[in-house]
Chain A
Amino acid sequence: MQKSIVLPSTEETELKQFILKITKGAARKDLIQVLQAVQERHGYLPKESLRLIAVNLGVSFSEVYGVATFYHQFRLQPPGMYVIQVCMGTGCHAKGNADNFEHLRLLLDLKHGQHLTKDKVFSLEAARCFGCCSLAPVVMVTDSTGDYQRLYGHVDQKALKKILAEYREKAKKQESEPERKLIVYPKK
């Protein structure tokens, strides 16, 4: 049905098979769901996946890229082990989450436009409203597999420091476990 694409690593073959599987019987209208499925599995949308999706759905690469860059949900860069999302809704802004964001950038030593820390433990994102405005300002921590998610309310500089320390500790523990995999498959 389609041209075979030579992929070097096992990870990429795996990606190719997964995309083949989910695009089976899918049409142009299912593009968003397909992208969501790939992101759920891989934590982000590798460039190669966009090409494969385009080929399999019979649409142009530019169209897939256009959709993937239009919506907030899609990430084109690999996330850190933990993704810290800072809510940028009105309620949180009024309670000073913009300062919290800056402070996190400082704590994580991120330069402007950079979102992933050097050790790849954290990535920082600005999020739209989580709808938990009564706990404003809020910060959400998600692990890259999406299985774990926790929202922290009423955060300030001290709380942020504590949160970072907690997850650094967790990351260390995970690192020391030999069985750790880069890609953890969702249970679904």
Chain B
Amino acid sequence: MASCTIAAGADEVLQSINHTVNLMGLDVEITPVGCMGLDFIDPWIELTKKGYPSVIYANVTPDIVEQIIREYLDEDYSSAYAFRFRKPDGSNVPSLDELDVWKNQVRWISGKCGIINPESIDDYVAVGGYQGLKKCLDRKPEETIDELKKANLRGRGGAGFPTWIKWNICKEQPSNVKYMIANCDEGDPGAFMNRLLAESDPHRILEGLIIAGHAIGAHKGFVFVRAEKPLAAKRLLKAAEDAREKGFLGGNILGSGYCFDIEVFLSAGAFVCGEETAMIAAIQGERANPLQRPPFPAVKGLWGMPTIINNVETLAHVATIMAEGWEKFAALGTEKSKGTKMYCVTGAVTRTGAYEVPIGTPIKTLLYDLAGGPPKGKTIKAVQLGGPSGGCVPADRFDLQMDYDSLQSAGAIMGSGGMVVLDNTNCMVDMARFFLSFTTAESCGKCSVGRIGTRLMHETLKRITNGEGTADDIELLKETSDVMQQACLCALGRTASNPILTTLRYFENEYADHINSKKCEALVCKPLVTYCMDSEKCKGCLVCVKSCPVQAISGEKGSTPTIDQTKCIKCGTCAEACPFDAIEKVPGMICEKSVKLEEGCTQ
């Protein structure tokens, strides 16, 4: 029961289960759990009975619930998706460990997602929760930081700064008042691992936050959640309440004498809040304008006091490292970056979802082994990493390892871990334009380079996608991005041109197509595509004439109608309405077929 599964219909399934169970007179316990990250099987249910195997059913609908339960009780598992643990002999259904999507993952922080009830603190404690906190409270903060240093955990928010260095700076500050902030804003479109963690295992985040507070000497913490993610906020609030009740939060935590309390702050939504100083301004109730750094927040942050901001994924790692020991964590990953990272793979793949793999896993493994490659009939062209501040990586570089440094060399960034897979129906110029429209809207307007630069680049890209681009435009884009990278106040501006630079680097031919031949091969940029009538397929039924919302199509019954290209708004309603598929979308600004036909007529 997470946002994604509810959207896919989990509420209705739950109702149906309750109803069916009552009707059948079964004595069962129904536990709502979080999301496993396997979004393509949503909504899923798991059935367990003593002496029976645990079975997972995928894409459940309310009307098949009863059938599933009956089959399960009859030990007929043919319609199951997978067995949670070992499968019975001779079954055709695989166990989870046999599935590509499962066996290639290392579920270090997400291991309990989809197993425990996120709204039950007892569930979390039962799986070893708050053990790490106990250990940390028993020792000096230095030792906690030292453990983190050995684990060499780097911030999972995107920049990859070593967490222990940040904490150490803050700990060294003489101030009595310090703050700890968990960043669950996740403004990055296309990434949802923070939301997933907060909805499926909120106590892990809280535990990490309390450990961090203890290590740096803070007594007050904030969880910064976006108001657009109400369920995540609700579960975090509930988790904090329960933790307070059980003595993990509040005064004199577990009898150690350490006091720490948190507040859940509902952010009103602004991408720039990903910048630490901007987030601090937001908590202070102001416009989220970033400030010049240094001083860094670790020295002078919230209300002028030393403040640490960590991504919730980083904090979940902290909690797990403290419980399981740094050795296990450091055994995963690469030489420079240890541990695992969660990635959200969406777009043109068959198995969309959130997957956790060791850092350094090749892109190929994630896209093909885990996410199952492209749907039938499509080819993957590129993958967009790290959202609006990241860049794209083309298909021929998919053996690249996913770690902070390798990605940087390819012009992309790890970012928060969103991976949007693009296929041949996506236009790279349009993607660049899309990201710039985003950063232009999200630019806070404080520094003029950021404000004007994003706008200038957006206008230029708009020109190109409208078919009005000139050869100088590419030069202009490069020049503007150069200025922005050097002169912008915050990372939003400095990285805003990344999507342009990487698309230019790997897909310059598409820019050339748009500028020189005025064509959009991917059929995305509307001014550069045309709808054409195929007179051979057309039966003259005039359905299209009726369907057109702007009356651009005219003709007589029985003959092929004509599209007035000056009136056409390229909405595609006619193509969808046509029962004979006679209306075709072609690249370019003119309809070559009809031009030829007209020429033929005049001869």
A108 to chain B, nearest CB (A): 12
Most buried by A among B7, B269, B572: B7
On chain A, the number of residues with a Cβ less than 8 Å from chain B's Cβ atoms is 42
- A interface, by DSSP: helix, strand, loop or mixed? helix
Closest Cβ neighbor of A31 among chain B residues: B285
Q: Mark B22-55, 1 if CB is under 8 A from A, else 0.
A: 0000000000000000011010000000000000
Q: Which of B153-161, B293-301, B342-350, B592-600 contacts A (4 or more CB under 8 A)?
A: B342-350
Tell whether, in the assembled complex, residue B287 and residue A133 are in contact, meaning their CB atoms are under 8 Å apart: no
A106–B549 CB distance below 8 A: yes
Q: Is the CB of A36 within 8 A of B190?
A: no
Cβ–Cβ contact A36 & B192, under 8 A: no
> Contacts A70-B288, A73-B268, A94-B431 hold; do A106 and B571 have CB atoms under 8 A apart?
yes
The distance from the CB of B224 to the nearest CB of chain A, in whole angstroms, is 11
Known: A73-B269, A90-B384, A99-B572. A133 touches B228 (CB 8 A): no
Report if B188 contacts A (CB, 8 A): yes
Which of A105-151 touch B at CB < 8 Å?
106, 127-136, 138, 151
1/0 contact string of B415-445 vs chain A (CB within 8 Å): 0001010100010000100110010000010
**Is A103 an interface residue when CB atoms closer than 8 A count as contact?**
yes
Which chain A residue has the least Cβ–Cβ distance from B268?
A: A71
Q: Chain B, 349-388, contact with A by CB distance < 8 Å: what is the 0/1 string?
A: 0001100000000000000000000000000000010011
Q: Which residue of B lies closest to A151 (CB)?
A: B7
Contact of A94 with B571 in the complex, beta carbons under 8 Å:
no
Are B418 and A90 touching (Cβ within 8 A)?
yes
Given contacts A28-B285, A88-B189, contact A130 B3 (CB under 8 A): yes
Query: What 1/0 flags go to A14-49 for Cβ under 8 Å of B?
Result: 000000000000001111110110000000000000
- Measured in the bound complex, the distance between the Cα atoms of B353 and A70 in whole Å is 32
Q: Are A89 and B189 in contact (CB under 8 A)?
A: yes
Give per-residue flags for B257-298: 1 if the beta carbon is below 8 A from chain A beta carbons, else 0.
000000000111111000000000011111110000000000
A135 to B420, Cβ gap below 8 A?
no
B244, chain A: closest CB distance, angstroms: 20
Of listed A30, A94, A128, residue having the most chain B CB within 10 A? A94
Q: Which of A28, A74, A134 contacts B42 (CB 8 A)?
A: A134
Question: Contacts A72-B270, A128-B269 known; A133 to B285 CB distance under 8 Å?
Answer: no
Is residue B510 within 8 Å, beta carbon to beta carbon, of the partner chain?
no
A131 and B195 contact, CB distance less than 8 A? yes
Q: A98 CA to B570 CA in the complex, in Å?
A: 13
Inter-chain contact A128/B8, CB cutoff 8 Å = no
Verify B195–A91 contact, CB threshold 8 A.
Answer: no
Q: Are B4 and A135 in contact (CB under 8 A)?
A: yes
Q: Is the CB of B268 within 8 A of A74?
A: yes
Binding site for A on B (CB under 8 A): 3-4, 6-8, 39-40, 42, 186-192, 195-196, 227-229, 266-271, 282-288, 344, 346-348, 352-353, 384, 387-388, 418, 420, 422, 426, 431, 434-435, 438, 444, 549, 571-573, 576
